[in-house]
Chain A
Amino acid sequence: MHIDKYEKFFMRVSAVFLGLAIVALVLSVVGHKAALPEPAERIDPELVRSTAPFDEPGLYELDNGDYEAVLVASAWLWDGIDEDFVIPAGSTVHFKVTSVDYIHGMLIPETNINAMVIPGQVTEVEATFHDPGTYTLLCHEYCGAMHHTMGAQFTVE
């Protein structure tokens, strides 16, 4: 089969380009700890409210100075974030989240937090908050008629 010489050149350049993109992404994972959620544990949504730690959602300080945020997503609230949710700038927060009804999505704009919250699964993600200010955790997966009201604010000071 005959392949045009310019086309051959084009195909080679494209292959190199895609190869470089792959290398760059591998570096972002290895070098910068950019991580995706991985399977943590399974849980029955009907038992979430009575299972630790989800029976007492909220912000907890850990021994090493980091924080753990235990959240329960339900239509259309984030249980565990209230006015007491205040963290000092520079702290790392480990989020532990599950849903009691629909699939929800957790997005905190201007941070690395972007993950799905799926009934039956526990989502674990973490972020370090360097800049003081007000942050919003909002739901980015459709979860019924009032989905656009599912946001919660917290403070980094």
Chain B
Amino acid sequence: MTQTLETPTGDEAISADSDTANPVVGASGSRRLPWAEDIPNVSALDMRPIKWQFTLSLVGLALGALMGIMQAMERLNVNLYDKTPLSTYYQGLTIHGVALALVFTFCFANAFLSLTVMKGFQRPLANRGISDLSAMLAWAGVIFASYAMLTNQASVLFTFYAPLKAIPAFYFGAALLVISTWLVLLNMLLTYFAWKRDNPGQHVPLLAFISIISYMMWFIASLGIAVEVLGFLLPWSMGLIDKVDPQFTRTLFWFTGHPIVYFWLMPIYVSWYMMLPKMVGGRVLSDGLTRMVFIAFLLLIPVGVHHQFTDPGIPFSSKTIQWLLTFCIFYPSIITLFSVVSGLEEGAKSRGGKGRLAWMLKLPWGDPAVAGQLLAGLGFMLGGMSGLVNASYTINLVVHNTAFIPGHFHLTVGTAVALSIMAISYWLVPYLTGKEIWSRKLGVVQVFMWFFGVLIFSRGQMHGGLHGMPRRTMINDATYLDQFGSWDLANIMTGIGGTIMFLSAVLFFINIIVTLTRDPDRVQRFIPVAQVRSKLENGSWMWLDDIPRWSAIAFVFSVIIYGEVFYHLLPLNAVSKGLRLW
């Protein structure tokens, strides 16, 4: 991970410890290969699929936010569904979930981790055609699924539990989107083996290693949903299979549905571990520990049953085993907390920060890319704690399927991930386009708004959930609403917080769109990657790097743990023809 771009470029050189996200340089740089100083031999053609994936990701965010504000207003008794072509609240909620939990996050990962692999290996990805194909499949998938959702033929929410039965285009689109992520992995692995051939006996660069482990994790994790969709739901929706087993398909869904959370989070961890310290002038604490944290996620795939604690068909043994494994996951996240904060402290102290906590004020809060990720991390601490509640077996009974859960995950995926992606955009858009961000001040205002908005929103949802308010429900039209006076406060907070979040998203898009209208070649193309404080020597700890071996272990472990679950679910109980009541 060399820092090629810290070499001065004449009078306009930027000192290495300034805000490095998007320093301005003259238009003197090479026009043909604007990224060449950051990643050798990378051309505009290598960046093209990355731009397309990233654009699709932001389209998902925009669409999701539009649906989000309608859900928030519903809490304030303002029904916007009557005023739009949407038929029901649930049609909107399906779009919200799919656009944000699947499209926004997956396409960002496709773009961002392709880029970090190139940066880590200091070379383009092995096969440009695969990257192009992946971007095309992602777009095609989103178009198919959008057709199904927008015409109200797939109002099945983003979990699409059978017997809810959508038209085939919905499942087909979802499958294409997943296949696009597999193609990204394939290209990463080709690049990995090519690099290994050229660099025998060397440690895989940390940045590339953790990026590929993230995708390997996702590939194994996605096999559940792949079998569910390709083996059952798609043929069922096409009429090739008559009936499916709702308990079984749901279990396949959650095989993927838990580690999907890692897939949302791991690209953000890559940024928090490797980039955020650089942006504040610090270093990565430990090479080996960072690798281990990512490997831990890979190994802890099979815990999805913790989403099914209240399912009738899953036995006590599966619930207990996977509950205990779930508790292991908090461990890598706790280590991450220490490592990332330590990198931040080092940076802040090198900028003159003092004291036990006061150093935090010396962090570059004026840079939206930094401020956004710091706030996202803060949100994640709250989200992680509420996650501990959800995972706590019997305490799960208090919160399962209540509004507490959206309260929790708008702090995790809705803030730790979404706010980080917005923050990263503040350097990534300039990096990809050469255009300088229009207003950094507006960016800072935007990220703070999101943070305070989500604090109010989530507090409201959690309050409601603890008083028995169900999630996935058009609350203000609920026939039992008048029984629950304590829900009023929850609804008001959800409405106000959600509105602030929506306005924040609007400011984000204004900033990005105006940026796109500016002149190119105004910024130096530079991915911020921090140095490692405690490095691994070549020759020692080489086993830590063995991606194929870790993947095989993770796969076998998943098969064993889930073998136990499936053993209890067989023979299949295919009883549901499926129906459409929306």
Residues of A with Cβ closer than 8 Å to B? 1-4, 6-7, 10-11, 14-15, 18, 21-22, 25, 28-29, 34-40, 42, 44-46, 75, 101-103, 105, 107-110, 112, 114-124, 134, 136, 138-145, 147-149, 151, 153
**Which of B247, B324, B478 makes the CB contact (< 8 A) with A121?**
B247
Write 23 A-B pairs (CB below 8 A) sorted by A numbering.
A1-B286, A1-B289, A4-B286, A22-B327, A25-B323, A36-B310, A38-B312, A39-B312, A103-B250, A105-B470, A109-B469, A114-B400, A115-B310, A118-B312, A119-B246, A138-B480, A140-B401, A140-B402, A140-B472, A141-B161, A141-B401, A142-B90, A144-B90
Q: Is the CB of A118 within 8 A of B479?
A: no
Closest B residue by C-beta to A10: B338
Contacts of B164 in A (CB 8 A): 102, 142, 144
**Which of B246, B308, B313, B473 makes the CB contact (< 8 A) with A140?**
B473
B460-513 residues at the A interface, CB under 8 angstroms? 467-475, 477-480, 483-484
Known A25-B393, A36-B397, A119-B163; judge A1-B581 contact (CB<8 A): no
Q: Is the CB of A22 within 8 A of B316?
A: no
Q: Is the CB of A21 within 8 A of B581?
A: no
Known A4-B285, A120-B246, A124-B312; judge A45-B575 contact (CB<8 A): yes
**Which of B163, B309, B334, B397 makes the CB contact (< 8 A) with A101?**
B163
Rounded to whole angstroms, the CA-CA distance of A8 and B79 in the bound complex is 53
Known A7-B339, A14-B334; judge A107-B402 contact (CB<8 A): yes
Contacts of A142 in B (CB 8 A): 90, 93, 157, 164, 472-473
Closest A residue by C-beta to B537: A1
Contacts of A44 in B (CB 8 A): 575
**Which of B285, B312, B484 makes the CB contact (< 8 A) with A117?**
B312
Rounded to whole angstroms, the CA-CA distance of A148 and B394 in the bound complex is 26
Tell me how many residue pairs across A and B have CB atoms closer than 8 Å: 198
Rounded to whole angstroms, the CA-CA distance of A149 and B480 in the bound complex is 7
Q: What distance in Å separates the Cβ of A20 from its nearest Cβ neighbour in chain B?
A: 11
Contacts of A15 in B (CB 8 A): 331
Known A109-B468, A138-B470; judge A148-B475 contact (CB<8 A): yes
Rounded to whole angstroms, the CA-CA distance of A42 and B310 in the bound complex is 16
Q: Is the CB of B468 within 8 A of A110?
A: yes
Q: Is the CB of A39 within 8 A of B568?
A: yes
Rounded to whole angstroms, the CA-CA distance of A147 and B330 in the bound complex is 35
Rounded to whole angstroms, the CA-CA distance of A140 and B402 in the bound complex is 7
Known A21-B327, A29-B394, A144-B581; judge A39-B314 contact (CB<8 A): yes
